Chains A and B, each alone.
Chain A
Amino acid sequence: EVQLVQSGAEVKKPGESLKISCKGSGYSFTSYWIGWVRQMPGKGLEWMGIIYPGDSDTRYSPSFQGQVTISADKSISTAYLQWSSLKASDTAMYYCARGESGYPFDYWGQGTLVTVSS
């Protein structure tokens, strides 16, 4: 069974750093892309970026380029999304999802809620 399991909810202060994770299982982790999607409170879905764990090829949405860093450790089948300096506006639910060229996100993680507040 394909599963993407994300790390737990985080509460941080503005200016702090954060790295959240997404662990894949039940499939070949290095053969599919992992994307990250933001959902701000009460709002829609925003595609942030995507990584291919097989070779760490990473692409970002222009809206998120320079704001976050996406990485992966294929040895433990885990993808990451990180911030170096959080802002209150980063408060959102973040989802990881599996995808590939020519096919949409078919499996999703359960989401990680990030709350940034002083």
Chain B
Amino acid sequence: EIVMTQSPATLSVSPGERATLSCRASQSVSSNLAWYQQKPGQAPRLLIYGASTRATGIPARFSGSGSGTEFTLTISSLQSEDFAVYYCQQYNNWPAWTFGQGTKVEIK
């Protein structure tokens, strides 16, 4: 099983600031990496797939980068609606997909 490790567990950021979230895979997943956002009481929402492609309707302030084992999600200027938990997921090892444990982005 491919283990996904996210850091940090919690990120405290002020509105308007930049947030950088990391995700590491225990072995290469190529670019088969997705990021999801989950707000309290809601289902996860797909933000990024293919490590760097924004899903439909996702604002340009969200960007993803990386390949192989190291990945980054960047939110360029945090808006109030961006405070949430973010998960990475590898879908390279079909169909044994695995998620990271999540990073909570909270208001500083």
Residues of chain A touching chain B, judged by Cβ–Cβ distance below 8 Å, are: 33, 35, 37, 44-47, 50, 59, 61-62, 95, 97, 99, 101-106, 108-111
Contact = CB atoms under 8 A, between A and B. Distances in A.
Contacts of B99: 37, 44-47
Contact of B43 (A61, A99, A103, A109): A109
A61 B96 contact: yes
B96 A106 contact: no
B106 to A, nearest CB: 15
B46 interface: yes
A46 B97 CA distance: 9
A44 B100 contact: yes
B102 interface: yes
B23 interface: no
B101 A44 contact: yes
Given A47-B97, A61-B96, A103 B91 contact: yes
B43 A95 contact: yes
A99 B96 contact: no
Contacts of A110: 43
B45 interface: yes
Contacts of B32: 102
A75 to B, nearest CB: 24
Nearest to B101: A44
A82 B102 CA distance: 27
B1 interface: yes
Nearest to B100: A44
A43 to B, nearest CB: 8
Given A99-B91, A108-B44, A44 B102 contact: yes
A47 B96 contact: yes
Contacts of B96: 47, 59, 61
Contacts of B1: 62
B49 interface: yes
A21 to B, nearest CB: 16
12 contacts: A35-B97, A44-B101, A45-B38, A45-B44, A45-B87, A47-B98, A59-B96, A99-B97, A101-B94, A102-B94, A104-B34, A108-B43
